[in-house]
Amino acid sequence: MDPPPPSPPSSAHAPPPPSSSSASPPASASAPPPPPPPGPPPASSSATSTPPKPHAPSSASTPTSGNAAPTPHSKLLNHLPLDAPDELDRKWYAHFYHMQKTIQGKDEAAALAILKQQPADGVAALPFQPDIALLYAIVTEPTLAKQHLRYLTAVAATDNYKNCMGWLQKLIDLKFVKLLVACRSQLLWLVRELVHLNAPGVDKVIICLMRYLTGGDPSRTTVWLASSIIRILIEHEAWLLSCSSLIPFVFHTFARISLDHTAAQHASLLKQEVELCTTLWNRRQADVAQLGREIVRVLSDAKDIPGMNALWKQLRNVRDTVEPEKDVSVYSVAQLMAIPTPPKYLAYRLNPKMEEYLLFMMERVQAGSVTRYQKWFSSQFLSSPGSDALVPDLARYICAVYHPSNQILSSKVTPRYHILGWLYLLCKTPSVLARVQLAMFFDYLYFKPSDNIMTVEPAILLMVKSLKSHPMVTLAMIQFLVFAVEKFAASAVNRKLMQKGVSTAFAMILKLGVVSSIHPLQSFPMLLSSAPELQSDLHRIFPEHFPSAEHANKAQAHPRVFDSMLDQVLSESWELYVPFLKAMYARDVTISYRLLAFCCSRSDTKSPDVALGPYAAFVDGIGGNLAQNILKDLNLSQQIDDARVQACALLDKQLPPPVPKDEMDAVSATALFVCPYLFANLKHPFLSKLLGRSEALVQLLLGLVTPAMLNALCTRVVMREFAVFKSRLANIVLSSLQWTSWEQYGMWDLVVAELQSGRSATAEKTMMAAARKVLACVNPKESPETMTGLLKCLIHFSPDGSVLQSVFKLPETYDDFPFAVLACWMDKFPDVVTSHVRSSLENAGDISKDITIAELVRKLDHLQDLRNRTVSSNTSDGQIAALKDESVLVALKKLLHRPDDASAATNYHTLRALVFDEEPPHKKPRLAGDN
């Protein structure tokens, strides 16, 4: 569902926070009370109740009543004309109203005694929460702010400010953007006073406020907020230096937003930001170091600002060491880079709404539907001049903060690399693009085996997935990665550590199967034509992952020479050739695949147990499982071809043209010979265990084939050379619901080919059983590929009673699918459909109580309506086949003529027109003179 758009922050320049001296004296006891809130008083609760966490509904509920007064004009929030009353605003005002009503006419001591009253036996609880009421009063009543602040400090002291700070954080997280300008000023005044009082927990309130100081937003509201917060921090420097947990947030925030304040009108603010960051770095470096490697990135981005440049040089001048030191007082680049940044610091660089909508796209929006959400996000947060400076912070959040669960990873929701690629393409200037690239690769530079692989997953997937659609993106990312290791390093030690970190990241990516191979990154066409020197750079920097031309040449063996060697080896007894093959396998794991392909290609007249005997003996020799090893080896075919392409590129040779099967590439051999051979013999006892993995085998095949290969396979299936699905059609179709769109469409092409090749009662029965299972499980909105495939298959076969019942029962969420299938069946198999309709209606009861019969009649009504609209009423084809049967018409007349059934009398207009000779609702009136 589309998330509701947030209200934009006010663009008006907010006045400065009022000073303590500006607060008016307490109002007299005769001051009129505020207008009553809608509904009864809020539920009784003590001041000690725990406030809810941010983004959770308030526990201080205010139930509404039927005779409630209209909501008064909000004193707290900006409301657009069509906005509904805000629930938090309404509840907080109710607490304020009942507090005023309770303490009106009391002197300060008596009022304070009431507000501090604790619930006890025999004492009625207050009808409001004092901390909420007082916070509302301070923010909305500037003239009484000092008096209410005295009350608040007395009340909040009873629980050490726990409730007070909780409600204040809730207000900031949920409503800061919508606060009236005057209320924002009052809120900052309150925070300043709480800091002055050294109130426990006020540091967390300041952290919440700093979330709204996002990068790329030099608007007047943001500049005012930054000025207000930094003024509070400078005035209370001693307090700030004592808050170890606050210092990293402050340094990170103001070092980051200083980039947005380089204009002349912000010179004073920029000076304050630089001085504050310098003070924290020089006096509390150990506390700032909690940020970890993010310090290096932020200072690197801000190094062109004079004051920040001094900090950057100071950091780079500290000598790097290979081994970590204990009790560090002055940190070097290498020491900071070795500390991963805790996610909480990166998350707080986005305001709550940004985080909410970014998570919405990555957790709830399918990849095919994400474009409109991206446009909306861009229009809200990335449309103002300079707002693309926010993109590096978004990239860091995606890579280092949000790590999806396995359930989300296996679903069809938009993957992280997709969002990352979209943000990458939004960057307009080279400087911002470089900062985004650094944000994506930052965790690569000092990656350790113990680090979370999810921090490096999006960038590598973006590089690999962009090879075909956006090769310029892949090329730019590779160039930056080489540049980062070579040039970004502050010293030779740092360069060596970064090289090791990136190499470790690549090793873990391959080990954990994030991508099957990174060799294509060294040899894709755009790299060869635009930056061929990168090939040697990649090999020089990462020799273990990107081999040189000599290494690639040694790794390749001519297919015919290899096959001749296998012929000679396998002519010996298995006691001799298995040890030899095991020794080769220890040096090159692709030997296993080559042996499998060789056995399948030499199997012309042999049974599977004879043809695959050498391969089975080899698998047994290495302690493997035949079915598992077959799938594992077939998955190597793409990597074998990638290595072959790379070798040809390094040797400056063209790939050979298509050749016979003995010399074809591994993917073609797998798709056109190995898999068909395995499918043709899948029911042989020798391959019985592979039969249980047929879903994985089909998916593997469809993940490799090109359109030309798929066409060749469909042709051979129609010619009955082999069959893919047989009795496992339902299981494979259900498994395919989690496959990619290409894999699903390819599967349905093979299904149609197989069903058409074996037009038999068994084929029809298999198809109908599969259709029944799939229709019971599939979500038509999430699986359009399955619905398209089912439609192509069902219309070719005569349905049985169970499938007819399933299709007639399909609800409206299936749109026109059931009508298309039923219309086709009525034309091709009218007797079958009519017989089913007749038997269903003859045994029908009350249509209003039987959902199955109601759906059947609704579909008949709609099908007849469609026929009326497309065929002239005076032709012989004016009725659908099922309604030409007299028994069906009689049964319908009986069902629709019940006076106690209101739905039958008001619905099914087309059927009623046919059965009772009524005028259909869409029929044009007859004009005078018409015959």
Q: What is the 3-state secondary structure (H, E, C) of 191-247?
A: HHHHHHCCCCCHHHHHHHHHCCCCCCCCCHHHHHHHHHHHHHHHHCHHHHHCCCCCH
The pLDDT value recorded for residue 572 is: 61
Same domain, 438 and 536: yes
Number of domains in the chain: 5
Tell me the residue range of the domain where 513 lies.
350-546
- If you ran DSSP here, which 8-state letter would residue 802 be given? H
Same domain, 621 and 492: no
Asked whether the whole model's pTM tops 0.85, one would answer no
Do residues 810 and 845 make contact, with C-beta atoms less than 8 angstroms apart? no
The pLDDT value recorded for residue 253 is: 95
Same domain, 552 and 429: no
The pLDDT value recorded for residue 395 is: 95
Within a domain: residue 108?
yes
**Cα–Cα distance for residue pair 651/649, rounded to 1 Å:** 5
Q: Two tokens at 581?
A: 């093959």
Within a domain: residue 278?
no
In the block, which residue shows the tokens 């409301």?
Answer: 79
C-alpha distances (whole Å) from 476 to each of 396, 433, 436, 529 are 18, 10, 12, 14
Same domain, 506 and 582: no
* 752, 778, 797 - which closes a domain: 797
Same domain, 537 and 591: no
Within a domain: residue 299?
no
The pLDDT value recorded for residue 565 is: 57
**Cα–Cα distance for residue pair 636/590, rounded to 1 Å:** 7
**Residue environment code for 274-294, b if the CB has 16+ CB neighbours within 10 A, otherwise e:** bebbbbbbeebbebbbbbbbb
Same domain, 829 and 911: yes
Within a domain: residue 236?
no
Do residues 896 and 858 make contact, with C-beta atoms less than 8 angstroms apart? no
Same domain, 779 and 818: no
**Cα–Cα distance for residue pair 490/332, rounded to 1 Å:** 10
In the block, which residue shows the tokens 């005078």?
Answer: 928
Same domain, 531 and 553: no
Within a domain: residue 277?
no
Give backbone dihedrals phi and psi of 683, rounded to 5 degrees, phi first: -90, 0
Within a domain: residue 248?
no
The pLDDT value recorded for residue 111 is: 82
Do residues 765 and 349 make contact, with C-beta atoms less than 8 angstroms apart? no
**Cα–Cα distance for residue pair 336/248, rounded to 1 Å:** 13
The pLDDT value recorded for residue 850 is: 75
Same domain, 762 and 830: no
**Cα–Cα distance for residue pair 463/359, rounded to 1 Å:** 22
* 780, 797, 814 - which closes a domain: 797
Same domain, 811 and 851: yes
The pLDDT value recorded for residue 652 is: 53
Segments in the chain below pLDDT 70: 1-72, 119-124, 322-328, 490, 548-575, 602-606, 643-664, 758-761, 845, 871-877, 898-906, 917-931
The pLDDT value recorded for residue 926 is: 46
Residues with Cβ < 8 Å from 505, sequence gap 6 or more? 443, 444, 447, 456
Question: What is the torsion angle, in degrees rounded to the nearest 10, for the CA atoms of residue 255, residue 340, residue 365 and residue 216?
Answer: 10
* 504, 521, 546 - which closes a domain: 546
Within a domain: residue 345?
no
Q: ∠ CA 157-162-163 to the nearest 5 degrees?
A: 95
Within a domain: residue 311?
no
Same domain, 585 and 533: no
Same domain, 678 and 662: yes
